Structure 1
Amino acid sequence: MGKIFFWIMVALAVVSGFLFAPEHAGLVIHPMDQFEVKPLFGKGEIGTFTITNVTMWMALSVVATIALLVLSTSKRATIPSRAQSIAELAYGFVYKMVEDVAGKDAIKFFPYIMTLFMFIVTANFLGLIPASFTTTSHIAVTAVLAMLVFLTVTIVGFVKNGAGFLGLFWVSSAPLPLRPILAIIELISYFVRPVSHSIRLAGNVMAGHAVLKVFAGFAAASAIIAPVSIFAITAVYALELLVAFIQAYVFTILTCVYLKDALHPSH
């Protein structure tokens, strides 16, 4: 299994060297070009309803998620297939995360959190396919996901606790003179949550893909440093597989932490 994984990584590295090669001789590398949003059909300006490469790869992420969670588990075999095993592991992993971090009363939000996790992790992994497009590298996508989480937990906080939700910003354990100052700091940090939540995911994914293209450009531009570059690409690919999962995990566990604050706001 280890050998198969190694040769898959090498093959991806070589393919990337061809796909990301500079158009002209020399070290003219544009690592950010891969994140350009383009119309899927024809050319011209992108409007509100224009189908783009982002649209297509987001749709593929949804289809892949449905295929994994619905189609692979439809038979519910006693001896599960690999796809069913992955789906069951993902279900159990996210369920335990929600229960452990946010509490048992947060289980009713499990479908929403599970959907977030599966969409992000699937989009991240699809983005590692050569010549694909990583939708989670765009702040426009991650910001929407983060804002949905922010609005959800805020609404839940006020609906469940009413004005008591404001206790989240009042640090009762601190000395009385410091409480108003800490309340302002807590309030600012609360509204900064969707910014950090979205930038963390998009920034890490974008940085990894940019590094991949730089090394791929080196490999294609110079035969002397090509072996070193291919080795570096293989190592970065392995790291990016780990990052793809970790960033989905971080986004999801932060969602659980924010949900816990909404359900139990008192310090």
Structure 2
Amino acid sequence: MPAELVITGSVHLGPKTLVVIPSLSGTTAESIELLRFARSAGAFVLTLTGHAATPLAQEADANLTSFAADDTSSETFTVQALLIALSILDSVDDYTEARRLRSDLAGLPGALLGIKRRFEERAAELAQIIAGSDFHIITGAGGSWPEAFYYGMCILEEMQWIRTRPVHASDFFHGTLELLESGVSVIALKGEGPGRSLVERVEAFVPSITDTLTVIDTADFELPGFSPELRALLAPTLLATALERVSAHLEVLRDHPLSTRRYYRRIQY
């Protein structure tokens, strides 16, 4: 996305624009180029990084540094993005509901730790399923889609070298369904907001072709005191929290640390 925006530009980019750029390393080349491009257009650039002494942290108009490991970065970035969105709503529209939701997030760290602990046994089982197949289709919709896309591309493909087809649940029946046959692994991520019914449509269809269907549903996670609206907004974070435990087991099962790469940041491209 940063590389595309630099090439295409945008009518929305100018002196009244807030540009938010997340980068765990703070050194992503395309993101650095976008930062400079956006600032040259007069935009205010806020960067979210895992390290302070980096170009993206130091050249931004504002920076929030919060250390995270590779496999927990999506958790921290989705929470920060939600906080930013709620803060903007509050400042622009004096949105009381946004203030309440933001306040309710105070108990999130403990809640996420509880999810990890309760999901541990299932995470080990799911890691066995993922390690046992060399091809997966992963799908989601609404709040669950960002994590489906991220986990398929960044974790299973980039960090584990497992062939994976991330596909939005609304597109599943426009081509991808023809890849289904007995034994093909499908991973469906379900949130609790708009888009849930699209994932359920896939969930209902897949067992008629293959018995290798894995469903992770945020509705199964215990979050006492969290409203249905907040649970829906937190879908990518909740799924990332659970899948981090899957990744931890997966790298041991496959003897493949998540940090191992062949090409990414190892050769020039």
TM-score by length of 1: 0.29
Q: Could you say which structure has the higher strand fraction? A: 2
Q: Could you say which structure has the higher helix fraction? A: 1
TM-score by length of 2: 0.29
